[in-house]
Structure 1
């Protein structure tokens, strides 16, 4: 029903959304949407039952988001909370720079297809070559089935442990500088990961992410309590 992709966020109060950067094209598209809305009101389309129901749903969504933001803002995360979370979740808030080599199960680079066993043998052979002195970057360029990162010698964008895939994080956080992991089975095949750099989190650098995590964890109970209190 909603065909417009125009961003109307710049019309909303800063308390509800972060103001987007000024963009004349986006603002022109938004004004076109507003103009069409005026046409709908002039033709009394907003009085039709289906439109009234849709407007009510939009109102509920906006109010729910406002309530969620208000409840989240009321959750206080102390310095002790931050320090405790850092101790309880080692590596989760550290920043990792990794490189990887991917060996696909099924179709890989160049149209080569491998079975589970063939892929496992391949990744073990690649790790053996690296362990005996071959350069990881060169092996990644020539052998990795991830064509996009192979061109960059297997280098991945830096990431916090918090955002790392569950199958990789336990291995990554145990690696030493320049160490290569044992083969890791992912959803599509096997990976070797190498730790290029790890930047340990501090209470200061991790505060924002820890606050997000703690708020997400506490929100369900806070929402449930607020709903109970709001009932007559």
Structure 2
């Protein structure tokens, strides 16, 4: 029995079986330094194995060579920065919250906590290891809440304007995926030009038949790269503002031209649409839609900001 995926971001494919232990264990090495912390090659190898398992479960072919290693390490670097921020802010996850989350994960897999622990053991994991992964993920969410979501405000004037512009807002929801070609903070004209050129080249590859998910795993700078760029379902009113005019005009399966944002250039694919009837929004619904849209707009930019402000020594290609 294979446990289904149950938590995003850091916990992708946590249930992958452990490889057989080699008779000779090579010396470990540092693959990245993030401020005062180090990420070891053994840690990266473990996460790469988990990512491969997750991609396989989604029927996505892993990219060749070191592309997957680079993507996984990039996620680990960002996570490490966020966890350092959590430590500096004295954030913590109490046992009650952690136990509740663990029981919820087990329930989502149709298991009791004891059965969940047994399944983990059969697949080479322990309940303690999973608890630690969940704790880290909850800390990251706390950091994102305190640094991004808690600073987003919605005024009455914004709600009024939103309701005026969306008096008959579509009830449609869109299942989206993206490939992001990032630009650094305060980029030079050459850096913007290079990113735009890469985005246009990727778009041409897609037009020539390249697989979107595989290309996202190999090339996207977005947090969802290891999920094939999948952004999930978004109500029309909560689509990031830079996509709001483009997405409704896409046909199912179509990929947009590169869309410029402060974070870089986005290639957005419309995977599926559901619901299309009009309906009047309440003020509460409008306020929530504006709030979520603002959070979506800010999160990628914030991630790039904290990365730019950290000391990072990526040694992956040196070993």
Q: TM-score range by the shorter chain?
A: 0.3 to 0.5
Q: TM-score, normalised by structure 2?
A: 0.35
Q: Rg: which structure is higher?
A: 1
Q: TM-score, normalised by structure 1?
A: 0.47
